[in-house]
Amino acid sequence: MRVLEGQAGSDAAANAVRAYLAELRDRVDIDPSFAHAADPAEVTPPRGDFMLVSEVATGAVVGFGAVHVLEPGVVEIRRMWLKPDVRGRGLGRFLLSSLENRARSLGGRRVLLGVNESLVEACGLYRASGYEPVERYDDNPYVTHVFGKQLIEPST
């Protein structure tokens, strides 16, 4: 598998987001008017990035994730997703690590993310990867758990 950066405006990204939103509507009972793609400008450097995960041999897209700079030093991980048929192979950890590395390259010392409790696999992945509960940072009504992780320890 490989991660492709800078994909916010691509057709492949739009197709992957549509698949993600369809699964989200099935699992979370989300209001269709709320389930929409992020503004590409928010996930395009220097404000963020949209990354696709694809198979090396075929180029088939199997997932995506995005990062968005909330404020200097703080980056949000947005909408990390993998196709159901590739889950359970360690790709979630691979993608999360890639997103954390991209957050660092955008100046992130800390990452935040929100997730719905229905996405049990995601909650487990974040906890196992060192994420801890933090205070809510936005007003997304579908987020039930908010996590944060220090990527770079503050200077003393």
Q: Please write down the long-range contacts of 32-35, taking CB distance under 8 Å and 24 or more positions apart.
A: 34/141, 34/142
In the chain, the domains with their CATH numbers are 2-150 (3.40.630.30)
pLDDT at 34: 65
Q: Which residues of the chain have pLDDT under 50?
A: none
State the pTM of this model.
0.92
In angstroms, the CA 110 to CA 113 distance is 10
> In sequence order, what are the beta bridge partners of 82?
63
pLDDT at 29: 74
pLDDT at 156: 56
pLDDT at 39: 82
Beta strands in 38-144 (DSSP E): 48-54, 61-71, 74-82, 110-115, 132-133
